[in-house]
Amino acid sequence: MTLMDNITALGKRRGFIYPGSEIYGGIAGFWDYGPLGVELKNNIKRAWWKTMVYGREDVVGLDAAIVMNPKVWEASGHTSSFTDPLVECKVCNKRFRSDKPELLIAHEKEHKERVEWTEAKTFNLLTEVLLGVTEPKMTAYLRGEITQGVFVNFRNVVDSTRVKIPFGIAQIGKAFRNEITPGNLTFRSREFEQMELEYFVKPDEGGATKLFEYWKEERMRWYLSLGMSKEKLRFRVHEDDERAHYARFAVDIEYNAPFGWSEFEGIHHRGDWDLSRHHLAYTDPETNEVFTPWVIETSGGVDRATLFFLINAYAEEEKRTVLRLHPTLSPVKVAVFPLVANKPQIVEKARAVYSLLKKNFVVAWDDRGNIGKRYLAQDEIGTPWCLTIDYDTLESDTVTVRDRDTTGQIRINISQLETYIREKLEGGTK
Ligand code: GAP
């Protein structure tokens, strides 16, 4: 079993990620998140919003519609330039992106010979939707990047808030791309979520370069602060011929995935491309100077983050599989176990601890099998702390707190449990 097989199996078995529409044979490029997956994904989004919006004075949030007037996509250049080159294998008619030579080589290996390919054709990645009930229906698009919703609301945000340049608009939401070759679990999907910041700056090369460097480092720091291994992350500058049509300059944060170094998040200098295409400008409130701001963008994938945090945390040890997730990201923060299930006093006390903690944390209850097996089940889903209520609890009102990473145990008074967990979570430590 490869690491990807293990992650896929764990995802399915424990309820992180399921194949989309599985009972009907699935559908390529679409995935569903189970009860633990949705918690992990929400924790990532919450942590991002906390850092990028609540933690700053110069960023506000937005939640724009997925479907916009199709003119938006014409103006933004996506209807003409948001394309990938596609080639077809003349032996089996399978299609691949011709700008990904590793995919072509892997496919040739499947045929055990060099195969002939068709000429490359460009394919637009926007997903069309038909609106209305009477003919002719209106053709619109599911947004190919969440970004354009920010630009079309630039004026609205400036007019309705107190933001002044430099400032940012942050957004998290779904995007859709007709990917030719979805794959590697959720890494390349047709429906996915993005978490993006559009940071508007004065059109000045020196200032914009400094802010670009600043945001690049900030984004790297964020991933590291949530436990990503430093040696698994790197920056990669885009070559001239691979940059998106809107970007003057682009750097990716890449993760060393089991399938090779892969794009995790893009930091883009979009210049005045978008605002000028939408005929939008900014008036400086102090000087009345009118100009088209430039945009520095940080664009991360929520699904890629979920996948890479899972991969990064996964460890097989001699006696257990453990997800060493940062506690902020762990789907379940605490598990509560009555030592035995057939002693009403112990079960009752454990239920009281469970109810107390459940008010503020995601808590699991387990009274099946022996304590060792219960630990293993929680280790596998990354629960940082397991509490056992035993005979001593009835005497001293203390419980055993077992740490996922060290497997060490301490005893804590029930009245101190909430503070203990909260301090660990807020301090970001274990
Ligand atoms: N607004 C800029 C933009 O969309 P991008 O580099 O095309 O830039 C940004 O996408 C991020 O969105 C990527 O770094 C990746 O994390 C995520 N992403 C893009 N396409 C994806 C796909 N097909 N499946 C999953 N995530 C994707």
pLDDT of residue 52: 98
The two beta strands, 363-365 and 334-338, are parallel
Q: Taking 90 as the threshold, does the pLDDT of residue 231 lie above it? A: yes
Ligand 1 nearest-atom number relative to CA 177? 23
Distance 300 CA to ligand 1 centre (A): 7
Q: Decide if pLDDT at 363 tops 80.
A: yes
Instruction: Report the pLDDT value the prediction gives residue 370, as an integer from 0 to 100.
Output: 95
Q: Are 233 and 217 in contact (CB under 8 A)?
A: no
pLDDT of residue 115: 86
Residue 245 pLDDT level (bands cut at 50, 70, 90): very high
Q: What pLDDT score was predicted for residue 97?
A: 87
Backbone φ, ψ for residue 138 (5° rounding): -85, 130
Residue 147 CB less than 6 A away from ligand 1: yes
| Count of residues in the chain | 430
The per-residue pLDDT for 99 is 85
Q: What is residue 354's three-state secondary structure?
A: helix
Tens digits of residue pLDDT in 40-52: 999 999 999 999 9
Lowest mean pLDDT among 54-68, 98-112, 116-130, 249-263: 98-112
Confidence band of 165 (pLDDT split at 50, 70, 90): very high
DSSP 364-399: EE--SS-HHHHHHHHHTTT-SEEEEE-HHHHHHSEE
* Ligand 1 binding pocket includes 303 (Cβ within 6 Å): yes
Q: Report phi then psi at 265, rounded to 5.
A: -150, 145
- Residue-wise pLDDT for 370-420, tens only, equals 999 999 999 999 999 999 999 999 999 999 999 999 999 999 999 999 999
Give the distance between the most distant pair of CA atoms in the chain: 78
Percent of the chain with pLDDT over 70: 99
Does the beta carbon of 192 lie inside 6 Å of ligand 1?
yes
For residue 89, the CA-to-ligand 1 centroid distance in Å is: 26
And the tokens for 419? 């503070």
CA of 22 to the centre of ligand 1 (A): 24
pLDDT at 429 over 60: no
Q: What is the mean pLDDT of residues 263-288?
A: 97
- CA proximity to 13, closest of 377, 386, 405: 377
pLDDT number for residue 238: 95
Percent pLDDT > 90 in the chain is 90
The response to whether residue 188 sits with its C-beta less than 6 Å from ligand 1 reads yes
Q: Does residue 430 register a pLDDT over 60?
A: no
Q: Does 125 score more than 60 pLDDT? A: yes
Higher pLDDT, 56 or 108: 56
Residue 128 C-beta-side C-alpha neighbours within 13 Å:
7
* Residue 359 pLDDT: 97
Question: Which pLDDT does position 117 carry in this prediction?
Answer: 92
* Distance from C-alpha of 67 to C-alpha of 152, rounded to nearest angstrom: 12
The sign of the torsion formed by the CA atoms of 139, 75, 273, 244 equals: positive
Q: Which of 104-113, 168-177, 247-256 has the lowest mean pLDDT?
A: 104-113
Quote the pLDDT of residue 428.
Answer: 59
Q: Is the CB of 145 under 6 A from ligand 1?
A: yes
The token pair at 294 is 């430039």
Q: What is residue 103's predicted lDDT score, i.e. its pLDDT? A: 84
Atom index in ligand 1 nearest the CA of residue 250 equals 6
